[in-house]
Every structure is written in C-alpha cells, then in structure tokens.
Chain A
C-alpha cells in the first residue's frame, strides 16, 4: 500500500499531519507519539516578536468541540531559531513551520529568515488567526491574501502553504488569490469564530470574548470548504477540521484533500495519530485502492 502523498514539490510519507497550535513544538509529544510515523508536524505559530498571548480563560469546552483564544502565545522567531528549530529539524518527519505576521512585510521577513535555515520542509502562513486584534486576519480579503503570499514567495525558496479562514462569505476568491500569488498548497480551514456565555454572571466565558471553534463539531463545515475549494483550484489541499477517526480522514481525502491535519483530537486523544496511520492501509484496501493518491478527490457529486 502506498501511503505517500505529493504536496506540490513535497513528498510526505503519509497524509496524517498534526495541525499548528495542537502539537506544541514537538518536544512535548516526544514520549507520546513516534514522529517517524507522522506525515509531518506543524509547530505552533511563531511571530517575529514574542507574544504573551491572551488573558485567561483561554479555552472552553463546547458540545463536541472547544473554543480557544490563546492569542498566538509564543516566544518569537529568535527563540524558535535558537531553541525549537535545532530540535525539530532532527525529528524523522517533515517539518512545516507556521508563521504569522502583522503585515505582508513582516510575513516576508519571517519567511526570508526561515528560508535560510536547513531542515524545514515548507512554510505555512497563518493568514487567519481569529483571536488577535490588529488586522491579522488577512485571509478575509483576497487582495491582502495575494499580497502576503506574493511577498513571501518573492523572498523564500521553500514551498508555501496558505492556511485560510472559514469566517468568510465566499472562500473561493480568497483561495484563488492565494494560488495566483504562488501558494503551493492550501490548508483548509482554521477555526470558526464563536463564543460561549455564562448567562448567570452575564459574562462571556473567554477573556477574549470570542474564540475559535474546533473539534468534531466543525467537521461537516470544514468538509464543505475542502470540497468547494478542491474543485476550484489546481493546488493540493490539506484538510483540517475536527478530524478524530479514520472515517474522518477518508472523508476529507475523498472530498478533495491530499492530506489532513489532526488538530484538537491531539488534545483529547494524544496517540490518535498513531492509530490513524496504522489503520489507513486497511481503510484504503476496503475501497480497492492501492494508494492514498488515487482516492483524493474521488467524491462523486
């Protein structure tokens, strides 16, 4: 059985990756998973400067999901280069570094400096963190999306994956803008903006008031985006959104994702990715397939 997948110029061992913000910086999971079994890891978003992140509470459980507003808590690029990257690049799996900037120029600076570093497979642009004030939500606007991707591509030799937000009326023009600007793949989707309310205290539960909804609750919503965009653009798609079981993985692949990113499930089922990888050959065999690639986008609708 051939589990490998091709994401632009990048060959991955299998289509099971872990989503940014749901796997720390890899180190935390060293005793829990075997990195050599993963298709790739995407560490938590890094920004140019350190960010303390949002006040507490930062997350809350909701039915079959959770809302989070962590606020890009991270120690900045310099710390990443000095502390996390030397460790991450030794891991026996693909490394996709996720970055967020306050402007297209800041994205480009991050991309350029990371591009000089060995051991990075690709960059993922977090164009869509919903929990940060000050215009970080580039992917609600096709023009801004184009600008960021284009400026990053100009200074960066690495493949670039654009991670888009679902919090838009029509994602297709935004996806097209990213592709027109040179994005090598699209990661779909980030979290859905939501909120939780404590009616007794008449207060929002999250300190940030709103947060991003993730987990099994969003899977049908995410599937729609993947299916819709896969038909509209020629680049590979990484499906993200509540993936927890092998059925979920297969649904995303058939709907048009070339690979998937497991996110919130890492929180409540820390070894989930190992079981998904182990079970994939049998699931493919049940479709009469000999490879992952041949089922991608095979949905008949």
Chain B
C-alpha cells in the first residue's frame, strides 16, 4: 500500500448520520484519503462548502475509521453533540449530502507501549477519540498505514455524562473488552457523581498505569490534579475553538509551562494531546 498523503482537503459525501444518544451523533464521511492517513487523537475540520455562514470550519476528533469489504479504510466517523450553529446544521445532514473537510490535523495519541492499564477518562462528548484509541492500544486495529499491534495489557474507560440519555457508544467499548465504569451527575445511570469522584472510588492506580482524559476543562483540571497527587502519568486531549485547525490563526492557544514561566502553545498544532504536567493550569 502506498503512503497516504499527509494532508487532504476536499468535498466529501456523508454516508450516515446516526443518533447515538440525545443530541449526540455519529457522522460517517466517505474519504479513503483521510481514512488511510488519520490516527486516533487527530481531528478534521468540517465546513459547509457553499455557505458563508457559518463561515469557519469546526474541529471534530476522529471516532473511528471504517473499512470496506476488502479491508481497506474508506471512510471516517466523527462524533458530535449538538450545541451551536454548525452542529444544528450537521444534525440535518442526510446521506449523500456534501461537506468540505480538511485534515488529518493535530498529533495522534502517542503509543502506550508497555503500559499495564490504560485508563481512558471521558466527560460528555469527550469520549469521541477513545474508541479508536482503545482499538489501537488493544492491537485490534491499525491506523495511518500501521499494522495492528498491542500496546498495553488492558484498557479501562471511566465515562461520565450529566444524565443517562447522553451516554453514547458504551456497548462499543464493552465489545472490545474494555472495562467500562459509568457515572452520571444526576445518578440516572451508574455511579452518581463526577468522573473524578468515581476515579477516587476505584482501585488506586498501580505502577505502569497511564491516564488519558478528554472532556470539559474543569474535568481535565480535576483529573490532572488527581493524577499528580497519585503520581500517575496523564495525557489530556484539549478542546479549543479553532478558526483554521492548521496552526495559522493563533486562536486556539493554551498556556503551557516553559523554561522561563509559561507561553501559549497552539492546540491544533502542538496538541490536541498534552502531558497534563505541561499545561499551565493556573493560567487558564
């Protein structure tokens, strides 16, 4: 197989737009170029090609790649939760509709080779990038032209939403053999409380464990604090409003520690995955 191009920009066709939970959808886009090139943790920008409003693209993390009957990657899935102007339009997409897309963007999750237990900590729509990561880390699927290769012994998902009807893709994780812990803020499913409350109830991390968190900023901050207290290495995948996704607009910056204090780093280019210790949390 030839090496996929490093960047794709074009108009692609929506194949499916399926509800996963309340206001939560999985959108499947036909693009063998993107499907072959993209890796877990990376994202694409989506935009309506013939509209000037909304004008800017929006960033969506890879949920998974999709293979055709010959086993070749031919489409990508992204997940979204309806919150604003763009996602309200996405909700109305039908198979056959066209979208402008560019990517893959950002750095993928690093390899978690030799990790005992990879703990994926998700808040709300923050679970999106974890299905592909779990599959990669368990050696079930290869991405970006790489063969499937197991990285860690096991994967655990700690996943919280506000309420039960927002929980999405739980069975997809269970089917992979991921140990899943659910919590909801109102107690309508699983543990009643926040993911950080639930983490505190679970067995303490052991040597060789690794945490990866994706979700709202207050959750990431709390998870980073807990990881520091328990001395478990932790990555966070940041979400930040972006105008371009390619590193040229300097809108999506986040404060990171530097030799002489702190500086802004671009989430799209330097992230979206950062070491939790690298973020200057006190500057956010």
Q: Bound pair: A and B?
A: yes
Q: Write the nearest CB–CB distance from A261 to chain B, whole angstroms.
A: 14
Which has the most chain B C-beta neighbours within 10 Å: A24, A32, A52, A268? A268
CB <8 Å contact, B250 and A70: yes
The answer to whether B52 and A64 have CB atoms under 8 Å apart is: yes
Q: Are B55 and A28 within 8 A (Cβ)?
A: no
Closest to A27 in B: B247
Q: Could you give, for residues 57-76 of chain A, a 1 whenever the CB lies within 8 Å of some chain B CB and a 0 otherwise?
A: 11111011110101001000
A22 at the interface (CB under 8 A from B): yes
Are the C-beta atoms of B248 and A28 separated by less than 8 Å? Answer: yes
Q: Are B53 and A267 in contact (CB under 8 A)?
A: no
Q: Which residues of A lie under 8 Å from residue B144 when comparing CB positions?
A: none
Measured CA separation A65–B54 after assembly (Å): 9
How many residues on the B side are at the interface (Cβ–Cβ under 8 A)?
Answer: 27
Find the residue from A65, A66, A70, A270 having the highest chain B CB count within 10 A. A270
| A289 to B200 alpha-carbon distance, docked (Å) | 73
A268 touches B7 (CB 8 A): no
Q: Is A269 an interface residue (CB 8 A)?
A: yes
Q: Is the CB of A28 within 8 A of B246?
A: yes
Contact B249 A22 (CB under 8 A): yes
Number of A-B contacts (CB under 8 A): 90
- Indicate which residue in A29, A59, A64, A244 contacts B251 across the interface (CB closer than 8 Å): A59
How many residues of A are in contact with the other chain, CB < 8 A? 34
Could you tell me if B7 and A267 are in contact, using CB atoms closer than 8 angstroms? Answer: no
Given contacts A28-B269, A266-B244, A270-B9, A73 and B57 within 8 Å (CB-CB): no
* Contact for A216 among B52, B247, B269, CB less than 8 A: B52
Contact with A along B240-273 (1 / 0, CB 8 A): 0101101111110100000000011000010000
Let me know if B82 is at the binding interface, CB within 8 A.
no
**When the two chains form the complex, which single residue of B5, B52, B244, B263 contacts A267, counting CB atoms closer than 8 Å?**
B244
Cβ-defined contact, A64 with B264, below 8 A: no
3 tightest A-B CB contacts, nearest first: A28-B247, A267-B244, A24-B248
* Chain B residues within 8 Å of A, Cβ to Cβ: 5-7, 9, 47, 52-57, 85, 100, 102, 241, 243-244, 246-251, 253, 263-264, 269
Contacts A24-B248, A65-B55, A215-B55 aside, 15 further interface pairs with beta carbons under 8 A come to A28-B246, A28-B248, A31-B5, A32-B246, A57-B241, A61-B55, A64-B52, A66-B243, A68-B249, A70-B250, A216-B52, A216-B55, A268-B244, A270-B102, A271-B102
Q: Which residues of A contact B (CB under 8 A)?
A: 21-24, 28-29, 31-32, 44, 52-53, 56-61, 63-66, 68, 70, 73, 215-216, 244, 264, 266-271
